[in-house]
Amino acid sequence: MRRGRSSRAGSDREHSGSAENRVGRGSADRERARSLRRKVFLVTAVCVTVIAALVGVLWFSPLMSVRQIAYVGDGRVTEEEVLRVLDVAEGTPLLRVDTGAAARRVAGIPRVAEVRVQREYPSTVRVTVMERVPVVFFDSPQGQHLMDAGGVDYAIEPPPPGLARLVTPTPGHDDHVTQVALAVLEQLPEEVRFQVSEVAAPTISNISVTLDDGRVLVWGSAEDSERKSAVVSVLLTQPGQVFDVSSPELPTVK
């Protein structure tokens, strides 16, 4: 009986020691975790402070300010036109240049189709402009208007040689008939499109195309344009003056 009590006492002491060890290890782990969190906090605080100081230097310092504006264009929009609306003064810190607002101002030039304004450290603002490409022109009392593939009327001037005339009741970007006529022109086979002298669309269902040699393609509506385009290439190899593909299943030649 005494040995039994002694064994139980020894066992109790062992369990007590294990519990104390676990408590001790838990306290040490918590202390290490707190120490790690303090170190992470200190490192983060230092990094934030350094970044804030660097941003402050770049924001206010003349060390990285605009000293050059580089213009890259592909047509008739001049550097002088761009600089007038860009509104970026030399000496402005690069970080304070609002590239988005500057790009929107340049995009307001009628001939500009796309524009990109970039900061190039340490001291350059680069402006890259792509101009609109005319696909048709239309006549008005003011003169001949150039229009791009999106229907944007962007200039009044003589059209370049070979440009097709657009004839619609009210040509313009927001005019549905204009957009349909331009879509038909885009659907034509490339070898045919380069021969077009006029696209006429009194209505959206009565579209016709006149070629340089006087031949006429009666297109009808814009429906089934892909099938009509495939038929046209074959049909134009036949003699005739009027090629009607308004019903691509039953094309006719007159």
Per-residue pLDDT of the chain (254 residues; tens, 9 = 90+): 444 554 554 555 555 555 555 555 556 666 676 666 666 666 665 555 555 445 555 555 567 889 999 999 988 999 999 999 999 988 899 988 999 999 999 999 999 999 999 999 889 999 999 999 999 999 999 999 999 999 999 999 999 999 999 999 999 999 999 999 999 999 999 999 999 999 999 999 999 999 999 999 999 999 999 999 999 989 999 999 999 999 999 999 99
Backbone dihedral angles phi then psi of residue 147, each to the nearest 5 degrees: -135, 135
**Residue type (1 letter), 158:** P
Same domain, 122 and 218: no
Pair (229, 173) in one structural domain: yes
Q: In angstroms, rounded to a whole number, what is the distance separating the alpha carbons of residues 106 and 85? A: 6
Residues 45 and 82 in one domain: no
Residues 48 and 101 in one domain: no
Is residue 20 domain-shared with residue 75, that is, in the same domain?
Answer: no
Q: Are residues 48 and 146 in the same domain?
A: no
Instruction: Give the pLDDT confidence score for residue 178 in this predicted structure.
Output: 97
CATH classification of the domain holding 106: 3.10.20.310
The domain spanning residue 184 has which CATH number? 3.40.50.11690
Residues 147 and 239 in one domain: yes
For position 54, what pLDDT does the model report?
53
Domain boundary among 74, 109, 131: 131
Of the candidates 161, 151, 152, the residue with the CA atom closest to the CA atom of residue 185: 151
- Residues 177, 104 share a domain: no
Number of domains in the chain: 3
d(CA 212, CA 89): 51
Which pLDDT score is estimated for 1? 44
The verdict on 249 and 178 lying in the same domain is yes
Residue 29's pLDDT is 62
Residues 119 and 170 in one domain: no
- Give the closest residue to 203 by CA, choosing from 180, 226, 184: 180
Same domain, 126 and 17: no
Domain boundary among 60, 87, 107: 60
User: Is residue 210 a contact partner of residue 218, using CB atoms and an 8 Å limit?
Assistant: no
Query: What ranges in the chain are assigned the alpha helix state H?
Result: 2-60, 79-86, 99-107, 176-187, 190-193, 225-235
Query: Rounded to an integer, what distance in angstroms lies between the CA atom of residue 62 and that of residue 69?
Result: 16
Q: Are residues 53 and 90 in the same domain?
A: no
User: In the prediction, which pLDDT does 121 show?
Assistant: 87
Give residue 62's pLDDT.
Answer: 64
pLDDT the model gives residue 24: 55
Last residue of a domain, one of 72, 96, 131: 131
Q: Which domain holds residue 74?
A: 63-131
